[in-house]
Structure 1
Amino acid sequence: MTAEVTNQGSDRGMPSISDSGFRRFSELIYSLCGIKLPPHKKTMLEARLRRRLRSLGFGTFDEYGEYVFSPEGMENELVSMINEVTTNKTDFFREPAHYPFLVDKVLPALMRDFEVGIGRPLRLWSAGCSTGEEPYTLAMVLSEFADRVPDFDFSIFATDISTKVLEAARLGIYRLDKVEPVPEGLKKKYLLRSRDPEKKEVRIVPALRGRVAFRRLNFMDEDFGLTESFDIIFCRNVIIYFDRPTQERLLKRFCEHLPRDRYIFMGHSETLNGLRLPLKQVAPSIYQRI
């Protein structure tokens, strides 16, 4: 067994994972979801997998590894393990400069050139949606646009590999501090305060929740399991977790679901320099399919 115990860790007396065990787990995670875990991520992986050890009642990484790599574990544990190791950082109105460009440039161009939103609903994909802040932000922005443009219609498809964050996203319940970036006018219109004054929470209004369809999706799946195309893809702060060959392969698959002259929004910390892609930059971190 490669996930052997080598020394005692400080976390409630639980053992640490060995170097060979880390390599085996990191290779499995890379093969499952494309996330590269370099050696300096060992402590992070230990901390997150320890939650699974406690939940299942295993005392060592050796025991947990035996289970994960068994036929039963491969069938029943992989989704839960991926839920723990994936990073889910997001906020409402994150990278706010994207939204004025979307409203002032992208939507008018798509309406003018393709009758998108008028002849048929605009189709937008929030890829790597985490707990839902991004797709609900987009739903607010597009709903406000629809209030000003008669007959404008849209749908939002939101995906993540983690079933845990998708459950939270579907509920649409957030702490008050999480919704601080939402402008006051939009808070009053799209957020419902809890009836329990002890709960400092709000919930997205049903009409807005109904605009977003959530689904689990693994970026390592060959065609994402999708047949439809999209007018806009938000894939922000997602590819930073992959190595460059995986980034290029992933973005080429995105482009297969993005018709000519449609748009993809990336994170400001992400660069496509050196990647061979059918995309041209039209604004910082915003690209158009060519």
Structure 2
Amino acid sequence: MPAASLQRVPEVDAVPHWTRVSLDDRVFAELVRLVKENCGIALSDMKRTMLETRLRRRLMVNDIADFGAYAAFLRSDRGKREEMQFFVDAVVTNQTSFFRELNHFEHLTPAELKRLAKEGNDGTLKIWSAACSSGEEAWSLAMIADEASRGGTEFPWKILATDISIRILTAARDAIYTVEDVAAVPERLRQAYLMRSRDPDDRRVKVAPELRRNVRFGQINLMDADYRPGSGMDVIFCRNVLIYFEPDVQLQVVAKLCRHLRPGGLLILGHSDTVRSKALPLRLIRGNIYERLREAPR
């Protein structure tokens, strides 16, 4: 009886191909250019591994063989239309926390917020969180605005929260955090504005409806030629974002922010941000808190 013939079983590669492809110098430089063009962010060579890791999922989702083909796709009309936002979401770093850089919030006392509202265009306190990330900054501002206004009875208030990332804006709008996330929120504000589940094992909290009614979210890319958040803002927060831009881009961004800040209003930058230009209509008050002047100092 003839021996049964043995068929060779093809080897199955259990490791997806996109986990093995690497990012060479030429393609890395091309992706860095795309990041700068679309986000204004200047990536150093030290970010190569980060970029490679975050974009591997986009290769998988789009069934693209390598990073070179992905860069070419981003340059195409279809890629700009369908993939560019996902690319931006993947490469932008979002890091924030409740009441981060506390001295800025301490400056915005109830008396200061009331003054800013009274001196504004229509008596409504208008605050813009210009790089809100996952929302902690905007909700921190909402808490102190609502407390200072006694629930809006002394003066109405509104907050606009924007970011370049659609993904992170969705999380910010949901306004759901963990108990650990809100540890820095003062106890009185946690009691007043954060809701716990009745399930003791559920460690999530949600921002109260009275705050959510007065905060709206939208996408703004600070690299855009013009912004449309409305004019006459009393306070603009744009913190720890400028450090990712080159100096000329930093000045362009701050100049555009100033167009939407009323004279006497406050521009609040992060502790790592610097503004060094006499051409800007700003006067330093303290700790990267600037007052908008009617015209640039001479």
The TM-score normalised by the length of structure 2 is 0.87
Counterpart residue identity of residue 75, structure 2: F
- Measure how far apart 1:80 and its partner are: 0.7
Segments of 4+ moved more than 4 angstroms? none
Distance change (3 Å), C-alpha of 1:47 and 1:105? farther
Name the SS for the 1:179 alignment partner.
coil
Moved more, 137-146 or 66-75: 66-75
The aligned residue for residue 80 of structure 2 is 74
The correspondence for 2:139, drawn from 136, 140, 143, is 136
8 A Cα contact 1:45 1:85, kept in partner: yes
Instruction: Return the alpha-carbon distance in structure 2 between the equivalents of residues 83 and 275 of structure 1.
Output: 34
Name the SS for the 2:150 alignment partner.
helix
The TM-score normalised by the length of structure 1 is 0.89
Residues 87-110 of structure 1: CA deviation (Å, up to 9, x unaligned): 100000100111121116632442
8 A Cα contact 1:14 1:60, kept in partner: no
Residues 149-195 of structure 1: CA deviation (Å, up to 9, x unaligned): 85211100010000000000110001111111011221121111124
The correspondence for 2:96, drawn from 80, 85, 90, is 90
| Structure 1: 5+ residue stretches without partners | 1-10
Instruction: Return the alpha-carbon distance in structure 2 between the equivalents of residues 104 and 163 of structure 1.
Output: 32
Percent same amino acid at aligned positions? Answer: 39
Instruction: Return the alpha-carbon distance in structure 1 between the equivalents of residues 126 and 200 of structure 2.
Output: 38
Moved more, 280-289 or 31-40: 31-40
- Measure how far apart 1:283 and its partner are: 1.1
Moved more, 46-55 or 19-28: 46-55
**RMSD, matched Cα:** 2.1
Distance change (3 Å), C-alpha of 1:50 and 1:239? same
8 A Cα contact 2:266 2:292, kept in partner: yes
Instruction: Return the alpha-carbon distance in structure 2 between the equivalents of residues 13 and 149 of structure 1.
Output: 53
The correspondence for 2:190, drawn from 176, 187, 191, is 187
Instruction: Return the alpha-carbon distance in structure 2 between the equivalents of residues 64 and 229 of structure 1.
Output: 42
8 A Cα contact 2:240 2:270, kept in partner: yes
Residues 231-272 of structure 1: CA deviation (Å, up to 9, x unaligned): 110111111110000000110001111121111111112121
The correspondence for 1:63, drawn from 40, 47, 69, is 69
Query: How many residues align structurally?
Result: 277
Asked if 1:162 corresponds to 2:161, the answer is no
The correspondence for 1:287, drawn from 286, 290, 298, is 290
8 A Cα contact 2:117 2:123, kept in partner: no
Name the SS for the 1:221 alignment partner.
coil
Instruction: Return the alpha-carbon distance in structure 1 between the equivalents of residues 144 and 54 of structure 2.
Output: 35
Asked if 1:262 corresponds to 2:268, the answer is no
| Structure 2: 5+ residue stretches without partners | 1-16, 294-298
Instruction: Return the alpha-carbon distance in structure 1 between the equivalents of residues 44 and 180 of structure 2.
Output: 33
The correspondence for 1:236, drawn from 230, 235, 239, is 239
Asked if 1:38 corresponds to 2:40, the answer is no
Written as runs of structure 1 = structure 2, the 5 A alignment for 1:13-32 is 13-32=19-38
The aligned residue for residue 174 of structure 1 is 177
